[in-house]
Structure 1
Amino acid sequence: MSSPAEFYHSLPPITKAYGTVCLLATATYHLGLDHPAYIALLYDKVFYGFQAWRLFTNLFFLGPFSINFGIRLLMIVRYGVQLEKGPFDRRTADFLWMMIFGAFALLVLSAIPIFWSPFLAVPLVFMLLYVWSREFPNAQINIYGLVALKAFYLPWAMLALDIIFGSPLIPDLLGIIAGHLYYFLTVLHPLAGGKNILKTPMWVIVGAGPTAVLLFFSQ
């Protein structure tokens, strides 16, 4: 059985980087080094207060340490790793592009008042879950040892559970919409004879190479 350190080092680079930053964001909050009010997605602060960092920082805050935080972090590790080592194996740039597209789509959707959410980390994690469910639709999933179902239905089951336990509906729904948009543009539309209009751009391919950041997380 591998140690926690060995397990951490075995994680693929993009999943490792995103999960680590999410963990650090919550840790800095509990250490009093940061406050959610300074990193939340507030469009008036972005456009009128020139606080452009809010477009990025909100994507990494999963909330305070709690059971929900642990579940979301485990979702990053489980579904992100299976995607990055499975359908996206040797396609690190494509996986990074999926995350970038998802973040952009969520920012656009959140600009619509009824879809606004101050933090988009949970929707981005839910997007990962949705894409995973489409890539592994027949995988058997057991939820809390109570319900067994195919992976294809997992996002909707998780959404229903969040509603039952009092969590907000919008973050999960945003993730499903962004995930379906990505999957439709990159898989369903090309399979139907359409053109893949969401090819990974060259600047992402270059940026996903052996840069100093990725090397740091890969050591």
Structure 2
Amino acid sequence: MSSPAEWYNTLPPISKAYGTTCLAATAAYQLGLYQPVHIALLYPQVFYGFQVWRLFTNFFFLGPFSINFGIRLLMIARYGVQLEKGPFDRRTADFLWMMIFGGFALLVLSAIPFLWTPFLAISVVFMLLYIWSREFPIAQINIYGLVSLKAFYLPWAMLALDVIFGSPIIPDLLGIIAGHLYYFLTVLHPLAGGKNILKTPMWVHKSVARWRIGAPAVVSRAQPVNNARQESSSGVFRGRSYRLNE
């Protein structure tokens, strides 16, 4: 059985970096090194006080140490890692671009007054969860040993649990919206015959290659199969499939 250090070293780079930063941010808060209000997404301070760091720091605070914090961190360790090791295997630049696009989309959405939330880390977690649920829609998930359901419905089940336990639902909704926007633009729209307008920019590829982040990309490029747009008998999209072109 591998040790925690060995398990940690096997994690893919982007999910590992994000989860580690979230853990470090909460640990620093618990040690009294800063107050959350100093890193929260407060647009007046960003635009009138030139506190630009708030546009970035708010993405890393999952709250104080608690059961909810542990659940969110485990969601990164499970769903983010499975995405990066599965559909995004050897596609580190694409995964990083998904995170960048998702962050930008969340900032735009949270600028709408009734959708504003001071921290977007939970929204990022729900974005990862939503995209994972679309990539593995027919996987069976057991929630706390009480309910078994297909992964396709997991984001909504987790949102319902947050409502039951009194947690804010706006961060969850923002993550689901951002995740659906990314998945629609990169998978559903191209499969329907449209153009992929959200291709990973070259500067992201160059940055990943320059800093040697993740495993080198394979020579063959995965292309969505046109007939992959199939539905199960329950009407659930089965996820994308690929064929490798030389």
CA deviation profile, 1:144-179 (whole Å, cap 9, x unmatched): 000000000000000000000000110100000000
Secondary structure (helix, strand or coil) at the match of 1:186 reads helix
Residue in structure 1 matched with residue 28 of structure 2 by the alignment: 28
- Residue aligning to 1:150: 150
Q: Does 1:48 align with 2:48?
A: yes
2:39 maps to which residue? Answer: 39
Shift of 1:209: 2.4
Query: Aligned letter for 2:114?
Result: I
Distance 1:141 1:29 in 2: 33
Deviations along 1:84-106, whole A, 9 cap, x unmatched?
00000000000000000000000
Q: Secondary structure at the match of 1:194?
A: coil
Whole-Å separation in 1 of the counterparts to 2:162 and 2:214? 34
**How far apart in 1 are the matches of 2:156 and 2:81?**
21
Aligned twin of 2:115: 115
- 2:92–2:214: 8 Å Cα contact kept in structure 1? no
Runs of 4 or more, structure 1, over 3 Å off, are 212-215
CA RMSD of aligned residues (A): 1.2
* Counterpart code for 2:109: L
Q: State the partner residue of 2:185.
A: 185
Correspondence for 2:73: 73
Question: Which whole-Å CA distance do the structure 2 matches of 1:38 and 1:214 have between them?
Answer: 32
Distance in 2, Cα, partners of 1:208 & 1:62: 26
What letter is aligned with 1:8?
Answer: Y
> Does the 8 A contact of 2:92 with 2:213 survive in 1?
no
State the alpha-carbon separation in 2 of the partners of residues 99 and 193 from structure 1: 25
> Could you tell me how far 1:208 is from its partner in structure 2?
1.8
Structure holding more helix per residue: 1
Aligned 8 A contact 2:131 2:179 in 1? yes
Residue 24 to residue 214, structure 1, CA distance change in 2 (3 Å): farther
Cα shift at 1:34: 1.3
Q: Highest CA radius of gyration, 1 or 2? A: 2
CA contact (8 A) 2:123 2:171 kept: yes
> Structure 1-normalised TM-score?
0.96
Aligned amino acid, residue 51 of structure 2: Q
Superposed displacement of residue 214, structure 1: 7.1
The aligned counterpart of 1:12 is: 12
Aligned-residue offset at 1:35: 1.1
Partner of 1:94: 94
Q: Give the Cα separation in 1 of the matches to 2:92 and 2:214.
A: 11
Higher relative contact order (CA 8 A, sep 6+): 1
For 1:154, the aligned partner's letter is: L
Which residue of structure 2 lines up, in the alignment, with residue 205 of structure 1?
205
Aligned residues: 215
Q: Secondary structure at the match of 1:199?
A: coil
Structure 2: runs of 5 or more not aligned: 216-246
3-state SS, counterpart of residue 208 of structure 1:
helix
Q: Distance in 2 between matches of 1:16 and 1:208?
A: 15
> 1:3 aligns to what?
3
**What letter is aligned with 2:78?**
R
Deviations 1:100-146 (A, max 9, x none): 00000000000000100000000001000000000000000000000
Question: How far off is 1:213 after superposition?
Answer: 7.7
CA distance in 1, matches of 2:211, 2:19: 18
